[in-house]
C-alpha cells in the first residue's frame, strides 16, 4: 500500500491507522478533529507531510493537492511555513521551557538530520532534549537560519510522534539583535555569551593599574559592592566559603563588571520585554581564563541581586574542553572545583551548565554524581562526527574525498576553532582499507580536524556552482537515516551511560 491509499484508509476507518503502508512513519499519524489526518512519509527520495480531510490546518498547509480516487489529499514540504501551520494545531511541535527539569541536554544538530536519533535516546532515558541548538557561528558556517533550525527539529518531533517536550537554544548569542532574532523565531532558551564584555586584560595588570581602573567605576556602585564583598568571607550553606581579599575582589570586579551590566541590560531590554518564558543562560565559558569559585559567586550574586533570573550559568572550568574529544586536565581538580561551582548554582537556584560537553567521558561520572542529576550539558560537534562516521561506513570513496579536503583546508578552519589536533598525526588515508576508515573516528587528531572543517566541507562548490560534498552527504544520510539514528542513539547513549543516566 502506498501513502495515498493509506490516506483513503484513514478517512474510511481511523481504527485501521496502524495498517502498514510503505514509507509512512507510524508514530507520526495524527488527526485533527475526526475527519482530517496528517502523517510523515518517505517516498521516492523525499520526505514530506501527507494530509487528508478538510480542516483548518489542511487548508492552511502549502503543498501539491490532488484528487486521489475521489478524495483530496495534499503532499506538503516539511518547511518552516508548514511547520508553523502544524505547530499552531499540534502544540507539541513547539519548543518549551525546561526550568525545573533536572537533566537537560543540548544537542546541536548542524545538518538538521540528527533530531530523530536524539529523540530516540532521550525518550528512552527520560532526558529533556534541547534539539535545536545553534550558535551564530554555526549558522554562518552551515548556511542555515534559526527558522530552518527550529523547523527541522519540529519536523523530527512530528515524525517521531514525540510529545514530551523539547527546547530550542539560541546558543552563544552576543548582542541584543541576535537575542531578539532568536526569540522572534520562537526559541525558548537564550545563551548569552558575555566573552566580549569580560576584561581579560586585568590578569596582566600591575597592582597600580588595578587600582587606577578600579577608581574609574562609578563611586556609587563601587562602594556598595565593596561593602558587600571586599575583605569578606562568605559562607554558603555552611559548606563552602568564598573569600574576597581586597586585591582579589578588585580584580574580579574589573574582569566581570561589564559582563554583569551587559547581562542585566539584555535581560531587561529584550528577555523581559518579550513577555515570553525564556530559559536564560549566562555563559562565560569562551574566555581565556577559568572562572574561579570567587568569580562565579560574584557574578551570580550580582545577577540575582539585580533581578536577573537565570535558568543556568556556564563557567569556564579548569582543564581543557576541546571540541569532539575527551577532557584534558586534572580530573581530581575538576571534581573539586566543579563541586564548588555546583554548590553556588544550587545556592542561587539555577543549574550549572557544561559547554563543549561532546565526548567528555572522563568527567561525566563526576558531573552526574556531584549534581545529583541536575545540570545542563551541551553537545554539538559530536553529532556531526557521527554523521561523518556513517558516511565513512557507507560510502568510503566520498569519505576519502571529504577527509583529504578537510586536511587541505585545516588552517582556514582553525581561525574559527582552537584545537590541538594536527594533520601530521593523522594516519595516511591512502594506507587504510575501506573497513579501516572508521578507525579514524577513534583518534583525537582526525576527529578534531573533521569536527572543525564542517563549514568548509558543507559550503564547498565547484566551478559550476554545485556543492561538492553537501548534497552527497545529505543524500547519503537520507538514504541511511536509520543508520544515523542508531549511531546517534548509541553515541549519545554512551554519554548518558557515563553520566549515570539509566
Name the residue nearer to Zn ion (CB basis): 285 or 295: 285
* From 138, 148, 171, 489, active-site residue: 171
Name the residue nearer to Zn ion (CB basis): 53 or 108: 108
Is 239 a known active-site residue? no
The interface with Zn ion within residues 306-365 (CB under 5 A) comprises: 355
* From 138, 152, 281, 359, active-site residue: 281
Q: How far is the CB of 282 from Zn ion (least distance, A)?
A: 11
Name the residue nearer to Zn ion (CB basis): 87 or 284: 284
Q: How far is the CB of 230 from Zn ion (least distance, A)?
A: 31
- Nearest alpha-carbon partner for 324 in 482, 242, 440, 230: 440
Give percent helix, percent strand, percent coil of the chain, each to the nearest 5.
50, 15, 30
Residue 281: which H helix or E strand, with range? strand 279-283
C-alpha cell at 98: 525546561
Name the residue nearer to Zn ion (CB basis): 213 or 358: 358
Positive or negative: CA dihedral 385, 390, 396, 401? negative
Name the residue nearer to Zn ion (CB basis): 284 or 456: 284
Q: Which long-range contacts (CB under 8 A, 24 or more apart) does 397-404 make?
A: 398/469, 398/472, 398/473, 398/476, 399/437, 400/429, 400/437, 401/468, 401/469, 402/450, 402/457, 402/469, 402/473, 403/429, 403/440, 403/446, 403/450, 404/429
C-alpha cell at 328: 584534558
Query: Which of 169, 285, 359, 444 lies at the binding interface for Zn ion (CB under 5 A)?
Result: 285
Q: How far is the CB of 35 from Zn ion (least distance, A)?
A: 48
C-alpha cell at 256: 566581570
Residue 342: which H helix or E strand, with range? helix 331-348
Residue indicated by cell numbers 520585554: 273
Q: How far is the CB of 258 from Zn ion (least distance, A)?
A: 19
Count residues contacting Zn ion (CB under 5 A)?
Answer: 2
Q: How far is the CB of 450 from Zn ion (least distance, A)?
A: 20
SS3 category, 62: coil
Q: How far is the CB of 256 from Zn ion (least distance, A)?
A: 17
Counting Cβ atoms within 10 Å, is residue 497 exposed (0-12), middle (13-18) or buried (19+)?
Answer: middle
Is 171 a known active-site residue? yes
Find the distance separating the first CA and the last CA of the chain, reported in whole Å: 39
Counting Cβ atoms within 10 Å, is residue 203 exposed (0-12), middle (13-18) or buried (19+)?
Answer: exposed
Apex 35 CA angle, 31 and 36, nearest 5: 50
Neighbour tally for 205: CB within 10 Å: 18
Strand 279-283 with 37-43, pairing = unpaired
Half-sphere exposure of 354 toward its Cβ, with a 13 Å CA cutoff?
A: 32
Q: How far is the CB of 65 from Zn ion (least distance, A)?
A: 45
Q: What is the 3-state secondary structure (H, E, C) of 151-205?
A: HHHHHHHHHHCCCCCCEEEEEEECCHHHHHHHHHCCCCEEEEECHHHCCHHHHHC
Strand 167-173 with 232-236, pairing = unpaired
Stretch that binds Zn ion, among 54-62, 281-289, 362-370, 419-427 (CB under 5 A): 281-289
CB 227 within 8 A of CB 277: no
Stretch that binds Zn ion, among 15-23, 146-154, 283-291, 391-399 (CB under 5 A): 283-291
Q: How far is the CB of 274 from Zn ion (least distance, A)?
A: 23
Compute the chain's Rg from CA coordinates.
25
Residues labelled catalytic:
171, 281
The residues of the shown chain that bind Zn ion, judged by CB under 5 A, are 285, 355
Amino acid at each position: 500500500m502506498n501513502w495515498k491509499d493509506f490516506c483513503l484508509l484513514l478517512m474510511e476507518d481511523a481504527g485501521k491507522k496502524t495498517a502498514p503502508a510503505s514509507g509512512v512513519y507510524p508514530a507520526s499519524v495524527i488527526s485533527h478533529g475526526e475527519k482530517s489526518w496528517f502523517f510523515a512519509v518517505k517516498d521516492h527520495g523525499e520526505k514530506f507531510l501527507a494530509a487528508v480531510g478538510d480542516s483548518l490546518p489542511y487548508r492552511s498547509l502549502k503543498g501539491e493537492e490532488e484528487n486521489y480516487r475521489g478524495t483530496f489529499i495534499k503532499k506538503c514540504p516539511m518547511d518552516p511555513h508548514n511547520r508553523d501551520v502544524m505547530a499552531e494545531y499540534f502544540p507539541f511541535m513547539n519548543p518549551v521551557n525546561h526550568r525545573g527539569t533536572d537533566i537537560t541536554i543540548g544537542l546541536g544538530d548542524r545538518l538538521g538530520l540528527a533530531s530523530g536519533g536524539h529523540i530516540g535516546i532521550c525518550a528512552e532515558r527520560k532526558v529533556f532534549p534541547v534539539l535545536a541548538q545553534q550558535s551564530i557561528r554555526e549558522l554562518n558556517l552551515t548556511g542555515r537560519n534559526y527558522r530552518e533550525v527550529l523547523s527541522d527539529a519540529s519536523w523530527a518531533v512530528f515524525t517521531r510522534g514525540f510529545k514530551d517536550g523539547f527546547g530550542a537554544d539560541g546558543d552563544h548569542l552576543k548582542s541584543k539583535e541576535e537575542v531578539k532574532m532568536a526569540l522572534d523565531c520562537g526559541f525558548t532558551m537564550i545563551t548569552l555569551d558575555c566573552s566580549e564584555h569580560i576584561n581579560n586584560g586585568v590578569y596582566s595588570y600591575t597592582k597600580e593599574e588595578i587600582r587606577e581602573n578600579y577608581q574609574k567605576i562609578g563611586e556609587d556602585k563601587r562602594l556598595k559592592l565593596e561593602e558587600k564583598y571586599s575583605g569578606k568571607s562568605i559562607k554558603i550553606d555552611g559548606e563552602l566559603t568564598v573569600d574576597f581579599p581586597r586585591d582579589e575582589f578588585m580584580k574580579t570586579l574589573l574582569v566581570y563588571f561589564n559582563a554583569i551590566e551587559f547581562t542585566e541590560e539584555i535581560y531587561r531590554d529584550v528577555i523581559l520585554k518579550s513577555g515570553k518564558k525564556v530559559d536564560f543562560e549566562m555563559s562565560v565559558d569562551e574566555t581565556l581564563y577559568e572562572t574561579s569559585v570567587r568569580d562565579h559567586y560574584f557574578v551570580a550574586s550580582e545577577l540575582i541581586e539585580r533581578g536577573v533570573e537565570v535558568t543556568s550559568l556556564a563557567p569556564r572550568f579548569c582543564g581543557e574542553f576541546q571540541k569532539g574529544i575527551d577532557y584534558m586536565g586534572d580530573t581530581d581538580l575538576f571534581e573539586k572545583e566543579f563541586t564548588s561551582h555546583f554548590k553556588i548554582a544550587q545556592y542561587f537556584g539555577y543549574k550549572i551548565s557544561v559547554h563543549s560537553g561532546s565526548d567528555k567521558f572522563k568527567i561525566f561520572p563526576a558531573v552526574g554524581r556531584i549534581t545529583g542529576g541536575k545540570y545542563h550539558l551541551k553537545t554539538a560537534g559530536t553529532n556531526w562526527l557521527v554523521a561523518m562516521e556513517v558516511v565513512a561506513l557507507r560510502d568510503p570513496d566520498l569519505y576519502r574525498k571529504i577527509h583529504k579536503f578537510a586536511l587541505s583546508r585545516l588552517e582556514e578552519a582553525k581561525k574559527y576553532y582552537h584545537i590541538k589536533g594536527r594533520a601530521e598525526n593523522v594516519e595516511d588515508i591512502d594506507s587504510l582499507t575501506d573497513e579501516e576508515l572508521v578507525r579514524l573516528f577513534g583518534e583525537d587528531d582526525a576527529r578534531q580536524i573533521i569536527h572543525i572543517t564542517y563549514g568548509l566541507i558543507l559550503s564547498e562548490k565547484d566551478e559550476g556552482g554545485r556543492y561538492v560534498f553537501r548534497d552527497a552527504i545529505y543524500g547519503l544520510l537520507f538514504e541511511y537515516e536509520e543508520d544515523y539514528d542508531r549511531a546517534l542513539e548509541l553515541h549519545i547513549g554512551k554519554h548518558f551511560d557515563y553520566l549515570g543516566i539509566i
